A and B are shown apart, each in its own frame.
Chain A
Amino acid sequence: MRIEFLYWEDCPSHAEALARLRQALAEEGVRDDVQVIRVDTQEDAERHAFPGSPTIRIDGVDLQPEGVQGRTLLTCRTYVTDEGRLSPLPTISMIRRALRAHRGPHKEVNDDTRPA
């Protein structure tokens, strides 16, 4: 699984967001590395199709694609939580659900806890 974490330093949510991503990966038994990409300039943003900080992509698919709106901008990003609240951060459950959805029913993950 290719996991990308993109952030803009000016937006203060990135450290907590990365911690949540790592926690979600651990809870889902996913051991793939996280590629952390720092976006500093508008040119960086365009090169990475960066819609705002933080952005998490799993095999190129955005965690909440409806929040992307086709724009690239150095900005803080708004997520809509399961409770309908607006937040600068995705919740752990949102990340876990995205991981599971991407994994699908038949895709294998690195999970030593499953019986052989």
Chain B
Amino acid sequence: MTLALRERLIPFSLPTTDGHTVSPEQFADAPVLGVVFWCNHCPYVKAWESRMIALQKEYASRGVRFILISSNDPAKYPEDSFEAMKTVAREKGYPFPYAFDESQEVARRYGATRTPEVFLFDRSRTLRYHGAPDDNFENPDAVTQRYLKDAIDALLAGGEPAVTETPPKGCTIKWKG
């Protein structure tokens, strides 16, 4: 079952492409924290990638942090191997930790099903937005609803996001077995 709105963040600790380990506790001071299920191979991820990078850079000075997690089975999708993740993170200059959920346990506990899929938490680490980054994966210039950005703005202002849930739009997470 997918983590529900107002439920608490589920802790995790995962290896990242920069050779470290990431856990949400490392960003205890962040007023807003996004846990984003991600991967290398999915065209929806590729379509949203530059927007997510830009969003992280735009809000970094205000303490907003994203953690990206790939849970895909690299045996079936070699493009999503940890080594390939390291290459993408380096080449694209990812401004966020990119973590490998090899056991797929984090994705299962969150109930994530797609890439990309955003879980956005407030300062007390309760879930306040879940879904897609915006309403147009195909054309950034044609976006009319900036779900993630608007939710971040609302939380930073101490308010309630106008939209709290949208259907995640993307590739399915590639489970083992």
Residue ranges of A at the interface with B (Cβ–Cβ < 8 Å): 10-13, 73, 75-79, 85-89
Contact = CB atoms under 8 A, between A and B. Distances in A.
Most chain B Cβ neighbours within 10 Å, of A11, A13, A78, A88: A88
Interface of B: 41-44, 46-47, 49, 77, 137-139, 169-172
B41 A75 contact: yes
A85 B44 CA distance: 11
Contacts of B172: 10-11
Nearest to B46: A86
Contacts of B169: 12
Nearest to B171: A76
Nearest to A12: B169
Contact of A79 (B43, B77, B139, B170): B43
Contacts of A12: 169-170
Nearest to A67: B43
17 contacts: A11-B172, A12-B170, A73-B77, A75-B41, A75-B77, A76-B41, A76-B42, A76-B171, A78-B43, A78-B46, A79-B43, A85-B138, A86-B49, A87-B138, A88-B43, A88-B44, A89-B138
Nearest to B115: A76
Contacts of B46: 78, 86
B43 A76 contact: yes
Contacts of B171: 10-11, 75-76
B10 to A, nearest CB: 25
